[in-house]
Amino acid sequence: MNIFTKAFWLQLSTPKNFYPIAGKLIPWFLISATLLAVIGLYYSFFVAPVDYQQGNSYRILFIHVPTAWMSMFIYVVMCIYAILGLVLKTRLSDWMALALAPTGAAMTFLALWTGSFWGKPTWGTYWIWDARLTSELILLFLYLGFISLNSAIDDPRRASRASALLALVGIINIPIIYFSVKWWNTLHQGMSVTVDKAPTMATSMFTAMMLLTFAFWLYTIAVALMRVRNIILERESQTAWVQDLVKGKN
């Protein structure tokens, strides 16, 4: 089958075809995420040296930075699915956006949580109304708003449309978060890792951070697929294929 044809993607985007494929992919993503996390944790605790200024507290950044990156990345991917759902009216796109939102909200919460535990020993405070921290908090509210709006409207089609519009309006917050340290004079430090420059940290520290970033990335894909499978089961529970699938399992 040619993967470059429209027919292939349309075929794949039907819940009936997508459900078993997602089921086969989940263990691979989970195993890869676990392996990368184990190696990343080994690097972050045993290979990366103690920082001469921050001591051991900088090891918090091995979790804080990947979760902060993931919080923004998941929002962008969620928006792409929301746009696809709005334009192409594919149910699976709406469901993927809905499946990504709780993990995105959790990553944002973790970024704020870990950031506050890094801030206390480094800045002397858990929280400050700095541009980067405040815009990240707004991102958490956007995720919560997306989830709440989706569950507040009974008609799934209208719920998806309304929450997609909210997600689209909220995307303006992503460049604000990313460039906040450049645009404003913030307590939050500037970017240590950018696409166009070499990282301003030791190679072992950078390796630990990237390994854990990829581990979080693969984990997110796995849980999003698990959640979308649950959504498919719930929304398609009346269909013959789901009934047959459940009968086959019992």
Partner 1 sequence: MAELLADKHAFYIAMTYGATFLYIVIELILLTRSKQSLLKRITRMGRLKERN
For binding to partner 1 (CB under 8 A), which residues are involved? Answer: 45-46, 55-57, 59-60, 63-64, 67, 103, 106, 110, 113-114, 117-118, 120-121, 219, 223, 226-227, 229-230, 233-234, 237, 242-243, 246-247, 249-250
Decide whether 162 or 233 has the Cβ nearer to partner 1: 233
Please state whether 155 falls in left (phi above 0), alpha (psi between -120 and 50) or beta. beta
Report the Cα 63 to chain-centroid distance in Å: 14
CB 182, CB 190: distance < 8 Å: yes
Q: For the CB of residue 119, give the shortest distance to partner 1 in the complex, in Å.
A: 9
| Exposure string for 186-224, b = 16+ CB within 10 A, e = fewer | bebeeeeeeeeeeeebeeebbbbbbbbbbbbbbbbbbbb
Decide whether 120 or 161 has the Cβ nearer to partner 1: 120
**What is the spatial distance between Cα 7 and Cα 5, in angstroms, rounded to a whole number?**
5
Say how many CA atoms lie within 13 Å of 32 toward its Cβ: 15
The angle subtended at Cα 174 by Cα 155 and Cα 73, nearest 5°, is 75
Q: For the CB of residue 175, give the shortest distance to partner 1 in the complex, in Å.
A: 26
**CA terminus-to-terminus distance, the chain:** 33
Q: For the CB of residue 75, give the shortest distance to partner 1 in the complex, in Å.
A: 18
Decide whether 81 or 216 has the Cβ nearer to partner 1: 216
CB 19, CB 229: distance < 8 Å: yes
Decide whether 84 or 228 has the Cβ nearer to partner 1: 228
Q: For the CB of residue 152, give the shortest distance to partner 1 in the complex, in Å.
A: 20
Decide whether 86 or 132 has the Cβ nearer to partner 1: 132
CB 187, CB 130: distance < 8 Å: yes
* Residue 59 dihedral angles phi and psi, to the nearest 5°: -65, -20
Decide whether 185 or 250 has the Cβ nearer to partner 1: 250
Q: For the CB of residue 156, give the shortest distance to partner 1 in the complex, in Å.
A: 16
Q: For the CB of residue 62, give the shortest distance to partner 1 in the complex, in Å.
A: 9
CB 36, CB 214: distance < 8 Å: yes
Decide whether 183 or 241 has the Cβ nearer to partner 1: 241
Q: For the CB of residue 56, give the shortest distance to partner 1 in the complex, in Å.
A: 5
